[in-house]
Amino acid sequence: MKKITYICLSLILMSSAMIAQEQEANTPQKGHTNTNKFRQLYDEFSTPNMFRSASGAPGPAYYQQQADYKMDIVLDDKISRISGSETITYTNNSPDELKYLWVQLEQNKRAKDSKSPLIESSGVAPVMFPNAFTKEFMSEPLERGFNILEVKDINGKPLPHTINRTMMRVELPKPMKHGDKFSFSVKWWYNINDHVVEDGRSGYEYFPKDGNKAYVIAQFFPRMAVYSDVEGWQNSQFWGRDEFALPFGNYEVNITVPADHVLDGTGILTNRKEVYSKMMLERYETAKRTYDKPVLIVNQTEAESAEKGFSEETKTWKLKAENVRDFGFATSRKFILDMMAVKIGGKDVMAVSMYPKEGNPLWEEWSTRVVASTLESYSRMTFDYPYHKAISVHAKQQGMEYPMICWNYGRPDEDGTYSDRVKYGMMGVITHEVGHNFFPMIVNSDERQWTWMDEGLNTFVQYVAEQDFGEKYPSALSPQDKHFPSDRGPAKMIIPYMGGDQNFIAPIMTKGLNTYQFGNNAYGKPATALNILRETVMGRELFDYAFKEYANRWMFKHPTPEDFFRTMEDASAFDLDWYWRGWFYTTDWVDIGVKEVKKYFVSDEPNAYMRKYMEERGVKRNQLKPLVYLVEEGSEDFKEKMKTKSLLENSKPLQEYIMDNFTPEEQKSIKEPKYFYNVTFEKPGGLVMPIIVEYTYADGTSNQVTYPAQIWRFNDNEVSKAIASDKEIVSITVDPNEETADIDTSNNSWPQKIQQSDFDQFKEKIKG
């Protein structure tokens, strides 16, 4: 009889694990599909292979193609036209035989027959800016796009080729086998677009006051597409939004421009002595040894006098670059030029800026300093910047990146004054575009397919670099700012987006062209996801090591999303499938709250739960083994005296158990908590995240506990924690430092804080 009682009891004495399972059983059944948010991403990821390892590293058979270019480029400043001829040498490192090559012709996005404008839906707006109205209703398509004059093999024999919009297929005389090289030449010209009026990622700005143009030139030559183990040929058309996929190669480029222009671009300037004046060369030598402030190579007075020249002569600037995926240059007689050296991994790198006088006084003060600081921060987070220079060029409304050179906005008013918004915007965009040297210029992801892989990763490091810059140069900050006011990265900045209308949100893992809210989707959310992963989920040490490992594994290679996801786990022992799934593959949001808190005391008297059991089974009091009963404060079994007595005074069985089972020495170190709580957390949001909780006690102290995300593995809606405490808990706050992007904080505290509704606030305002 006694034995039977004992067995029954073991069934009803629930462990907290059993309580959790009971909660799981209460979750509505969702059929037989495995919807557990912690299941591995086997269905989403491609199977690892010899090209790409399961660890996220390049596999033993990893390969990448190479495209080397020799180019002669002539700029006709009067009619804003580029004419070029190039010889491309393509190396097939793939195991595949290639019958044809795909060449990219992005200028055709602007051609008269471009389909890009046709995929944009449009409608008559009630209010329009004159420039938008002119563009929409009053402009004729301009003569734009590549004019391909010839495509020939090395012996001058024309090669059959077909242009399909922004892609050109060049047929090979015989298939290229693994290891083969093939050289061919292309001749072309195109009319350069005015990037201020017509938009575009390159072009010129016209300055009506002095009649000059400032050119920022890119996508100016037919460029090889990427052939890889993942996509085969990446020949997805350029519609204007998704950027570029480009193979690495070596470039020798000769650029002929008016003799009074100042030019710089990707690569080492190999004929500096021919194109620099004696004065410029002397100042350049000084700049190479100056680490604390920019040295002017061409100053504003000199640039202003050059503006009047309009030389009929020309000069050829020769640039040579190794292991770059693209080439860009900027040229104008309006350019002021300054430089400063920065030590990166024991080597000198030149931080360079080029800007018309319209950029001053902002640009001479800050551009080059931001470049140098950015290189330092990114090098710390990834690898030492491997190129010899990084140039920031000022171009109106531009923010665009190429190897070693980028275009950036941020222009003061005509009287030289500028707002905080202009200043921080300029510093932010320079940090961002210089940062793109790392992602995707060196860690060469496929921008055409995955915008977030360069923009998201880059925006994340941009946030780190901006904060560094603010610390390094407090004088760059306005008096009201303690830190650089980054607008992407901090968790709470992404709340309006993630908590917004689900009809206009797409998962991060969506091709850029097809996403709503492009900036939030491909820049803001992935950057925030990585920042939260670093600060809240993994911790800086584990995250930074893994992130650096990813950058180093894929430096000068072509990574995919899986290579990133896998490496972050591989180098940290952090199972992150749940995190990638939630943040990158869904549009779920974070909302975790505290639902209910119950307080308990112990007692020797059978409580209601046990009395019901005894009645149902006909069990008598004397048949029960000694038990500890937990009584909820305020319940019918609760008595005020339980509060005043100690734990052991309240429970004889507990007292006896301790006496019988612990030595006097052990008894001394036993804890005797006074308060027992059952705290229930709820999760209206779809994302599983750690529960960060701050418990505040009656004596004013508090402590913070983080329950890892896996706490949600059995129940996606609510979980509870039993807490034994010496001190009375007076309040509980979930996510006290607002670090998880919780979209609704009205359920984040216990006791619930009375939150003013918008309407109440509105009423108060009216009263005030």
Q: Residue 57 or 430: which CB sits closer to Zn ion? A: 430
CA distances from 276 to 209, 495, 550 (A): 27, 51, 40
Longest dimension (CA), the chain: 113
Q: Residue 146 or 554: which CB sits closer to Zn ion? A: 554
Cα 297 off chain centre by = 35
Q: Which region, judged by CB under 5 A, interacts with Zn ion, from 212-220, 302-310, 453-461, 739-747?
A: 453-461
Q: Residue 65 or 408: which CB sits closer to Zn ion? A: 408
Pairing, β 718-725 against β 675-682: antiparallel
What are the phi and psi torsion angles at 763 (to 5°)? -60, -45
Name 183's bridge partners: 89
Least CB distance to Zn ion at residue 375 (A): 16
Cβ–Cβ contacts within 10 Å for residue 686, how many?
Answer: 14
Q: Which residue, chain included where needed, has tokens 């890009």? A: 116
Q: Residue 110 or 436: which CB sits closer to Zn ion? A: 436
Nearest to 52 by CA among 560, 595, 689: 560
Least CB distance to Zn ion at residue 445 (A): 12
Contact predicate 604/650, CB 8 Å: yes
Rounded Cα–Cα distance for residues 682 and 718 (Å): 4
Rounded Cα–Cα distance for residues 733 and 597 (Å): 12
Q: Residue 326 or 455: which CB sits closer to Zn ion? A: 455
Q: Residue 455 or 637: which CB sits closer to Zn ion? A: 455
Q: Residue 455 or 562: which CB sits closer to Zn ion? A: 455
Least CB distance to Zn ion at residue 201 (A): 11
Q: Which residue is nearest to Zn ion (CB)?
A: 455
Rounded Cα–Cα distance for residues 454 and 68 (Å): 23
Q: Which residue, chain included where needed, has tokens 């600081």? A: 373
Q: Residue 58 or 435: which CB sits closer to Zn ion? A: 435
Nearest to 430 by CA among 399, 389, 396: 399
How many residues make contact with Zn ion (CB under 5 A)? 1
Least CB distance to Zn ion at residue 435 (A): 8
End-to-end CA separation in angstroms for the chain: 76
Least CB distance to Zn ion at residue 134 (A): 28
Q: Residue 222 or 440: which CB sits closer to Zn ion? A: 440
Q: Which region, judged by CB under 5 A, interacts with Zn ion, from 337-345, 450-458, 599-607, 658-666?
A: 450-458
Q: Find the binding residues for Zn ion in span 204-243 (CB under 5 A).
A: none
Least CB distance to Zn ion at residue 522 (A): 9
Q: Residue 242 or 455: which CB sits closer to Zn ion? A: 455
Establish whether the linkage from the previous residue to 28 is cis, with ω within 30° of 0: no
Least CB distance to Zn ion at residue 108 (A): 23
Contact predicate 151/105, CB 8 Å: no
Q: Residue 404 or 538: which CB sits closer to Zn ion? A: 404
Rounded Cα–Cα distance for residues 184 and 186 (Å): 7
Interaction pattern, residues 397-436, with Zn ion; x per rule: CB under 5 A: ----------------------------------------
Least CB distance to Zn ion at residue 432 (A): 5
Q: Residue 188 or 238: which CB sits closer to Zn ion? A: 238
Name 351's bridge partners: 340, 390
Rounded Cα–Cα distance for residues 679 and 720 (Å): 5
Half-sphere exposure of 299 (CA within 13 A, CB side): 5
Least CB distance to Zn ion at residue 741 (A): 21
Q: Find the binding residues for Zn ion in span 584-603 (CB under 5 A).
A: none
Which positions ≥6 away from 344 have C-beta within 8 Å? 375, 376, 379, 384, 385
Per the structure block, which two tokens stand in for 692?
């960060």
Establish whether the linkage from the previous residue to 751 is cis, with ω within 30° of 0: yes
Name 407's bridge partners: 393, 400
Rounded Cα–Cα distance for residues 701 and 377 (Å): 37
Q: Which region, judged by CB under 5 A, interacts with Zn ion, from 80-88, 89-97, 330-338, 452-460?
A: 452-460
Least CB distance to Zn ion at residue 412 (A): 23
Q: Which region, judged by CB under 5 A, interacts with Zn ion, from 449-457, 507-515, 561-569, 662-670?
A: 449-457
Nearest to 560 by CA among 245, 90, 91, 240: 245
Least CB distance to Zn ion at residue 20 (A): 44
Cα 390 off chain centre by = 21
Per the structure block, which two tokens stand in for 740?
């998880």
Q: Which region, judged by CB under 5 A, interacts with Zn ion, from 51-59, 317-325, 447-455, 718-726?
A: 447-455
Least CB distance to Zn ion at residue 395 (A): 15
Rounded Cα–Cα distance for residues 497 and 399 (Å): 23
Q: Residue 317 or 409: which CB sits closer to Zn ion? A: 409
Rounded Cα–Cα distance for residues 561 and 390 (Å): 27
Q: Residue 229 or 242: which CB sits closer to Zn ion? A: 242
Per the structure block, which two tokens stand in for 377?
């921060």
Least CB distance to Zn ion at residue 436 (A): 6
Name 268's bridge partners: 320
Q: Residue 330 or 434: which CB sits closer to Zn ion? A: 434
Least CB distance to Zn ion at residue 694 (A): 37
Contact predicate 537/710, CB 8 Å: no
Rounded Cα–Cα distance for residues 293 and 597 (Å): 59
Interaction pattern, residues 721-740, with Zn ion; x per rule: CB under 5 A: --------------------
Least CB distance to Zn ion at residue 560 (A): 19
Name 592's bridge partners: none
Residues that bind Zn ion (CB under 5 A): 455
